[in-house]
Structure 1
Amino acid sequence: MSTINANSAATSSSETCHLLINGEWVEGAAETVTVLDKYSQEPIAVAASASDDQIAVMIDAAHAAFKRGAPDNYERGSILERAAVLIEENREDLARTIQAEAGFTRSDANGEISRCLQTLRLSAEEARRLSGDVVPIAGAPGQSHRMAFTLRVPLGVVLAVTPFNSPLNTVMHKVAPALAAGNAVIVKPSSNTPITTCKMAKILLQAGLPKGLLSVLHGGARVVGKAMEDQRVRFIAFTGSTEVGRAIQSKADLRRTQMELGSIAFTIINDDADLDMALPKVVSAGFRKAGQVCTSVQMLLVQRSVYDNVVAKMTDLVKAVPFGDPGNETTVTGPLITIDAAIRVEEWIKEAVAKGARQLVGGPREGAVVPPTLLVDVSADMRVGCQEVFGPVVSIIPFDAMDEAFDRVNSTPYGLASGIFTNRMSDAFAAVRRLEVGGVHVNETSSSRVDLMPYGGSKDSGFGREGPHYAIHELTEERVVSITA
């Protein structure tokens, strides 16, 4: 039986991402997917999917491990802390793996690892302070002889379905709080980026996690659907498209879920904004990770009195963004996750130009790399103006009154996060109150995120919150206890 070595680089097509079942690495018995280096398009690994029988065995093992009981709260925190130490020790290998299978630049790969360390350590803290509340039952008539309090108890088996665009930290945002709460977790990574998840799982086992509490499942929609047929899967955490989220939610029935779904992310530039501070942040938020983040700035709404100035400055800044090979230290915008994804983004840009948009910055696609693209004169009937691009494309749109900007943000079915740059507190508070999104960031872009914050959306962008403190409450249920003297 082959195993995934947490210290080996993902450089050979002979590497296989196996299933993790009951603490053992097992070869998948169903279809396989070839994992490509996202820039060179060379194969680097194969992910072997689980058969229906293997999924059943995996859930049996996870459920049995949960029933045996997770380590106590202190030890759960210690396991997560030891995992953080091991991830830091394996930083170089993990960074190379993330660069290859996700197409990240070196900077983004290291940022992914550093944030993962924060997620682990925050989850360790939450494991140790997980608690309920005192219920003031004596304040009710005739209840002075009683005491009451609540406990937070784990749910059981958690199925975590994770995306390609954050192959370590988003995976850890689902796995670590679930383990901290005392659940068993089955993680199903994206078939585009399974290697990092396997190495993460290897590290958690090395940190002392008992067998069965973490499983790794490979495959596509079939394996997710099959796993969800088993009612012992008590919670489904999903990050991905709104369309897939709807399909998963429809199968969840009365079971609890957490959905972080699609978005069209807006950032607003008021006429009083500090442009020298704001615009570099917008460029970073629009073009790092090749724009493949749900909160990447897609639409930049600019008050008309500063519109021409912003367009000129943004044009210069975007022209200077280095793109191409993520192995180059200076690269900011690397490849999209697949050539098909890059072709789609290229087609959307061409469609917008054909309908009247002007392309101020951009160029021909090179394999999976779409150059950073800046558009103006974009209308809401263009796909770049009404659907999630998920690529390195930013459109600048003028507005006059603040009401116009707020209405434009709220006009989409999505509501994940928005940013606004202004020094007027009245406009900042108006944005906080009126924007129909899960997060409003004043003098930051829509992509602003700190891992201890609650993170999640509204409307078609989903529901539930990540962030260890908030996620661990989603991943437990409250049990009331009363005592009569």
Structure 2
Amino acid sequence: MSTDWKRYLDNLALGTNKTYPLINPHTREAITDIPECTNNQMEDAISKSNEAFQKMKKLTSEERSTILDNAARLIAAQKEAFARTIVLESGKPIRFAKGEVDRTVETLKFASTEARKLEGESIRLDAAPGGAGRDAYTIFQPIGVVGAITPFNFPLNLVAHKVGPALAVGNTIIVKPAEKTPLSSIMLAQVMDQAGLPKDAIQVITGDGPRLGKILIDHPDVAKITFTGSPDVGKFIKSQAGLKKVTLELGNNSALYIDNSVKDKLKDVAQKVVVGGFSYNGQVCISTQRVYVHEDISEEFLQHLKVATETLVYGDPNKDTTDLSGMIDEKSQQRVLDWIEEALNEGARLITGGEVIGNGVKPTILTNVPSDSKVSCQEVFGPVVVVNTVSNAEAALAKMNDSQYGLNAGVFTYTLPQAFKFAHQLEVGQVLINDLPTLRFDHMPYGGLKSSGYGYEGIKYAIREMVNMKFISINYQF
């Protein structure tokens, strides 16, 4: 079987006479025209999704699990087509795009497994006075229609992280993908149909995010909003969602501390930071952005990092040898360049990069960066790594926590008490010891503190945010 996003777009186009051009980020050439779906189309999708829910909630756990497993196998069989589509619409280099497809397969496999495992618990009511003679337990039930609003940077796997859990427990889902990357989510929806999912249990509606997203937020038949994007939009969604369930995965400026106890591993750590800071041009929610290095090893680390960074290859994202390509759009490219210039004017020192290369930005390392420079205190979402020196681990911990964000953080240390101190005192949702903050496995819990989010993803944990718990008691002595 094959996917055909053109056919899906043609069907959407029947409901609207407006389109917008989809642009290849690397070449800045038009790919195709995307339907600007109307409000009526979104409302109709919600109605269809609500009807499909009546079928979804009747499926057994085994049936839902099998559908998700079928979808995983179909995507694996079409890995090349999915990867090329990711490259086309997002500009992600092909080897990273293939990695995203592999992760999507794993994400759906995890969802398939968890579909069979969602269990309640028995409760001893006789632990309370008057509670004797009763058997009691809890069950979990699907909530209904889920509205998913997704970003451009992982146009397949971040969609799967919302679709998989929703379908695993018997919900239906409407995906409003990023305007810049709708094709991958359409292909995912088509595979779900091929895998045996009831009609309209997943739908993709393209077009303006704020307008169409507002309909999902306001509509009484939408039970939950799951959103990945900027903190400002996330806060707006939470303020408008009323009693709907909400999961928000928002911004971050991931911090890393490198202790002098790992001085013999600096070259290896530098290679890891290059991957964590510059993969997909740093357009990653948990990109390694702020690096704090013990003063005893800072110059040596910077030299290793500079050498490794300058070996990265900018070029055609369809080539296996390419590390970097064009950023998602010209506006993002210019913003990153402006922030770099601002940091330099504020006293930062440029180690390498800081220039335009094609439709991208050369991988940039800055040091001596003031903590209130945008490249440090905000989310760059570009190929920029800030490396500052600290006198000790306590200073690093304070600087790492001095942020409005709190998603992931990493620490490289061979000192066990120090590792535990960071693990307990870092104000983030995930702490990675002797790993980069850019690490994510698709079944681990994933959620942020502060302005980084609300609620949790990671298949098992996302599922718990997409069900209602019901308590049942049976008085067998009546």
- The question of a shared fold, defined as TM-score above 0.5 by the shorter chain, is answered with yes
Q: Which residue of 2 aligns with 1:190?
A: 178
- Among 54, 62, 71, the alignment partner of 1:67 is 54
For 2:271 and 2:217, the matched residues in 1 are separated by 44
* Match runs of 1:335-346 below 5 Å: 335-346=326-337
For 1:30 and 1:158, the matched residues in 2 are separated by 27
Q: Which residue of 1 aligns with 2:32?
A: 45
- Among 57, 64, 69, the alignment partner of 1:81 is 69
Give 1:360's aligned amino acid: I
Query: Which stretch of the first structure deviates more once superposed, 258-267 or 331-340?
Result: 331-340
- 3-state SS of the aligned residue for 2:253? coil
CA contact (8 A) 1:16 1:45 kept: no
- Among 141, 160, 181, the alignment partner of 1:153 is 141
CA contact (8 A) 1:17 1:195 kept: no
For 1:31 and 1:384, the matched residues in 2 are separated by 38
Q: How far apart are 1:277 and its partner, in Å?
A: 2.9
Q: Which consecutive residues of structure 1, in runs of 5 or more, have no partner in the other structure?
A: none
Matched, 1:97 2:88: no
CA contact (8 A) 2:16 2:36 kept: yes
Overall identity of the aligned pairs, in %: 38
Give 1:393's aligned amino acid: V
Which consecutive segments of 4 or more residues in structure 1 shift more than 3 A? 5-8, 24-28
CA contact (8 A) 2:173 2:201 kept: yes
For 1:262 and 1:27, the matched residues in 2 are separated by 36
CA contact (8 A) 1:269 1:303 kept: yes
Q: Which residue of 2 aligns with 1:130?
A: 118
Matched, 1:298 2:289: yes
- Among 165, 180, 185, the alignment partner of 1:177 is 165
TM-score normalised by the chain length of structure 2: 0.96
- 3-state SS of the aligned residue for 1:153? strand
Query: Which stretch of the first structure deviates more once superposed, 370-379 or 316-325?
Result: 316-325
CA gap 1:117/1:69 in 2 versus in 1, 3 angstroms: closer
- Among 350, 357, 382, the alignment partner of 2:341 is 350
For 1:275 and 1:148, the matched residues in 2 are separated by 57
- Among 220, 225, 231, the alignment partner of 1:236 is 225
TM-superposition CA deviations, 1:60-119 (whole Å, max 9, x none): 111111134432110100000000111011111111110111111111101100000110
For 1:315 and 1:483, the matched residues in 2 are separated by 68
* Match runs of 1:438-457 below 5 Å: 438-457=429-448
CA gap 1:456/1:167 in 2 versus in 1, 3 angstroms: same
Q: Which residue of 2 aligns with 1:225?
A: 214
For 2:163 and 2:460, the matched residues in 1 are separated by 13
CA RMSD of aligned residues (A): 1.6
- 3-state SS of the aligned residue for 2:180? coil
CA contact (8 A) 1:376 1:397 kept: yes
CA contact (8 A) 2:93 2:322 kept: yes
CA gap 1:307/1:28 in 2 versus in 1, 3 angstroms: farther
TM-score normalised by the chain length of structure 1: 0.94
- 3-state SS of the aligned residue for 1:480? strand
Q: Which residue of 1 aligns with 2:416?
A: 425
- Among 361, 366, 369, the alignment partner of 2:357 is 366
- Among 181, 204, 207, the alignment partner of 2:195 is 207
TM-superposition CA deviations, 1:119-154 (whole Å, max 9, x none): 000000111111111112232223221000000111
For 2:313 and 2:126, the matched residues in 1 are separated by 66
Q: Which residue of 2 aligns with 1:253?
A: 242
Q: Which consecutive residues of structure 2, in runs of 5 or more, have no partner in the other structure?
A: none
Give 1:97's aligned amino acid: T
TM-superposition CA deviations, 1:22-60 (whole Å, max 9, x none): xx7563416422111111111112221221211111111
TM-superposition CA deviations, 1:324-370 (whole Å, max 9, x none): 32122211122211111111111111121222212111153134211
Give 1:231's aligned amino acid: P
Q: How far apart are 1:195 and its partner, in Å?
A: 0.5
For 2:17 and 2:424, the matched residues in 1 are separated by 50
